[in-house]
Amino acid sequence: MVGEKARWTAKRQTGWQQGRMGDENSGDGRKAVKNMAAGSGYALSLGSEGALQLIFLMGSIVISWYALGNVRWEIFAKHPASGSVRILRLIVAILLGTQLSDFFMQYVNATILLRHW
């Protein structure tokens, strides 16, 4: 019993409970993360930034997919209408879309930071 209580106390004092990111009353630290985002001066909360990032990512992948539709795939493959070429097009669209999305998110974050300059 004593060993179990000591282990529970040590577990409770690590991570979220050390006061870095947690609230003394809550074990998950959600309240502290909200306060951290609200008090840091950023215009976007963590949830809205995550939603914006997902929208940018999906939109960028779709744009890349349609842009890659104009590539002449017969140069790279014998059968350009095969499933493997479509998978290759999807992978390239994901790679390009991720880079495009990262660019847009860096742009948005930079404009938010410029407001506080």
The string of pLDDT tens digits covering residues 47-83 is: 888 898 999 999 999 999 999 988 888 888 888 788 8
Q: Which residue has the higher pLDDT, 100 or 42?
A: 100
Instruction: With 0.75 as the threshold, say if the pTM is over it.
Output: no
Whole-angstrom distance between the N-terminal and C-terminal Cα of the chain? 56
The string of pLDDT tens digits covering residues 98-110 is: 999 999 999 988 9
* CA distance linking residue 37 with residue 74, whole number of Å: 50
Does 59 lie in the same domain as 33? Answer: no
Segments forming the whole domain that contains residue 6: 1-40
- 65 token code pair: 């997919």
Does 31 lie in the same domain as 16? Answer: yes
Does 90 lie in the same domain as 66? Answer: yes
Does 68 lie in the same domain as 12? Answer: no
Does 69 lie in the same domain as 12? Answer: no
Does 46 lie in the same domain as 8? Answer: no
Does 59 lie in the same domain as 31? Answer: no
Q: Among candidates 58, 48, 60, which has minimal Cα distance to 109?
A: 48
Does 117 lie in the same domain as 61? Answer: yes
Does 29 lie in the same domain as 72? Answer: no
Does 102 lie in the same domain as 51? Answer: yes
How many structural domains compose the chain?
A: 2
* CA distance linking residue 19 with residue 103, whole number of Å: 34
